[in-house]
Amino acid sequence: MLDTKPQADAANDGQEKLLEVNNIEVIYNHVILVLKGVSLSVPKGGITALLGGNGAGKTTTLKAISNLLRSERGDVTKGSITYQGERIQSLTPADLVNRGVVQVMEGHHCFEHLTVEENLLTGAYTRRDGAKATKDDLEMVYEYFPRLRERRTSQAGYTSGGEQQMCAIGRAMMARPEMILLDEPSMGLAPQLVEQIFGIVKRLNEEQGVTFLLAEQNTNVALRFAHYGYILESGRIVMDGPAKELRENPDVKEFYLGMSDDGRKSFRDVRSYRRRKRWLS
Ligand SMILES: Nc1ncnc2c1ncn2[C@@H]1O[C@H](COP(=O)(O)OP(=O)(O)OP(=O)(O)O)[C@@H](O)[C@H]1O
Ligand SMILES: [Mg+2]
């Protein structure tokens, strides 16, 4: 049986919830309804994955949280978003960084004309704890990403896709975040590199205590590294559960694990097909 009811309330019981998205609706250009009542919660200290195919609404959800929709003519028209119990919809992205929430955008965003090290240092611009702390954190980032140390004087625009993704995550770490919203870290990268980057995300989570909400099309990798997952289809959460349970769920296996994009069916198709079958029998 498909379990299609979002269970945000049941998610990660007993753990402190850092972020809660309650039934939000997002409309672009006043007419295009993209999120149709999305709810999710992110417990402190966990890695939560937001999964789904092209155009499901993953990036829109992350941008709604970090208040980046306005520049895209998008609006949250219903629902609420709270961080540590307080509504954050009126904060600017810079205010959010001060509160400890940093977004790493889709597509390895770096400042191309700056060196790798200059990019990393831009991540510390809101900090007020002095040059020594910044220097220590730069060292911490280089320990997690030795490749960035080797490339520190290279212009970011000339580094590889994988190095740019590392640079984008390293830059977020320089703000000493409590939570990172990570959009599609696997995008365009070879499998081995994806594995390496997820491994570092897991270490940052375990050793530095950073909470992650990550959006991914790569269900397979994401469910191996995350603790909890939500599956988004056409702007709705169609399933959620502990990553281990989702990995073993027959429907998730059929639709999201080990199938090509061409062969991927949707939960909704199956639902209506089963409904039809019931109707006929
Ligand atoms: N600025 C915008 N104006 C209008 N529609 C948009 C805008 N941005 C996104 N959309 C639409 O909203 C839907 C969700 O897009 P979104 O980028 O959130 O999906 P996604 O799950 O991140 O997909 P992908 O995996 O391809 O990155 C898509 O149908 C997309 O075309
Ligand atoms: Mg996206």
Shared-domain flag, residues 89 and 26:
yes
- Does the beta carbon of 64 sit less than 6 angstroms from any atom of ligand 1? no
Q: Tell me, what's the pLDDT at 92?
A: 87
Instruction: Give the CA count within 13 Å in the CB-facing half-sphere of 49.
Output: 31
pTM as predicted: 0.88
Q: In this structure, are 136 and 13 located in the same domain?
A: no
The answer to whether residues 92 and 12 belong to one domain is yes
* 229 CB within 6 A, ligand 1: no
Q: Say whether both 59 and 186 belong to one domain.
A: yes
Residue 154 alpha carbon to ligand 1 centre in Å: 33
Q: Answer yes or no: is 18 within a domain.
A: yes
CA dihedral (4, 7, 8, 9) in degrees, to 10, reads 160
Sheet holding 236-242, edge to edge: 101-104, 179-183, 211-216, 47-51, 228-233, 236-242
The string of pLDDT tens digits covering residues 167-201 is 999 999 999 999 999 999 999 899 999 999 999 99
- Is residue 52, in this structure, part of any structural domain at all? yes
Could you tell me if 121 and 231 lie in one domain?
Answer: no
Give the total number of structural domains in the chain. 2
Q: Which ligand is nearest to the CA of 234?
A: 1
Atom 30 in ligand 1: which residue has the minimum CA distance?
Answer: 55
Nearest to 116 by CA among 92, 147, 76, 77: 147
CA of 150 to the centre of ligand 2 (A): 30
Nearest Cα residue to 64 out of 108, 123, 22, 9: 22
Q: Choose the final residue of a domain: 176, 206, 229.
A: 176
Q: Is residue 198 part of a domain?
A: yes
Q: What is the rounded CA–CA span in Å between residue 79 and residue 114?
A: 39
| 160 and 194 assigned to the same domain | no
- Cα(76)–Cα(191) distance, rounded to whole angstroms? 35
Collect residues with CB below 5 Å from ion ligand 2: 58-59, 106
Contact partners, residue 202, CB within 8 Å, separation at least 6: 47, 225
- Residue 61: band (very low, low, confident or very high) from pLDDT cuts 50, 70, 90: very high
CA of 55 to the centre of ligand 1 (A): 5
CA of 213 to the centre of ligand 2 (A): 13
CB atoms within 10 A of CB 188: 13
Domain final position from 176, 204, 233: 176
Any ligand 1 atom below 6 A from CB of 234:
no
In a domain, 82, yes or no: yes
- Check residue 270 and give its pLDDT: 54
CATH code, domain with 22: 3.40.50.300
Pair 94, 219 in one domain: yes
Task: Tell me the C-alpha distance between 80 and 65, whole Å.
Answer: 10
> Both 77 and 117 in a single domain?
no
C-alpha span between 221 and 84 (Å, rounded): 29
Give, rounded to a whole angstrom, the gap between the first and last alpha carbons of the chain: 17
One domain, residues 202 and 260? yes
What single string gives the DSSP state of each residue in 205-216? HHHH--EEEEEE
Domain boundary among 157, 176, 195: 176
Count of helices and strands (H, E) across the chain: 11, 10
Are residue 276 and residue 196 in the same domain, yes or no? yes
Domain that residue 216 falls in: 8-100+177-280
Pocket lining: 34 vs ligand 1, CB cutoff 6 Å: yes
| Window from 42-51, 52-61, 156-165, 246-255 with minimum mean pLDDT | 246-255
Q: What does the pLDDT average to over 258-276?
A: 51
Question: Do the domain assignments include residue 235?
Answer: yes
Q: Is 103 in the pocket of ligand 1 (CB under 6 A)?
A: no
Is residue 2 a part of any domain in this protein? no
Q: What's the pLDDT at 9?
A: 46
**188 Cβ below 6 A of ligand 1:** no
Provide φ and ψ at 27, rounded to 5°: -125, 130
Look up residue 123 and give its two tokens. 């991540």
Whether residue 3 lies inside any domain: the answer is: no
91 in any annotated domain: yes
The answer to whether residues 52 and 115 belong to one domain is no
Does ligand 1 have an atom closer than 6 angstroms to the CB of 27?
no
The whole-angstrom separation of Cα 273 and Cα 200 is 41
Tell me: do 30 and 127 sit in the same domain.
Answer: no
- Residue 150, Cβ neighbours under 10 Å: how many? 12
Nearest to 21 by CA among 50, 41, 51, 1: 41
- Residue 197's nearest CA partner among 156, 144, 151 is 144
H or E stretch at 21: strand 17-28
Task: Please write the tens of the pLDDT for every residue from 268-279.
Answer: 555 544 444 444
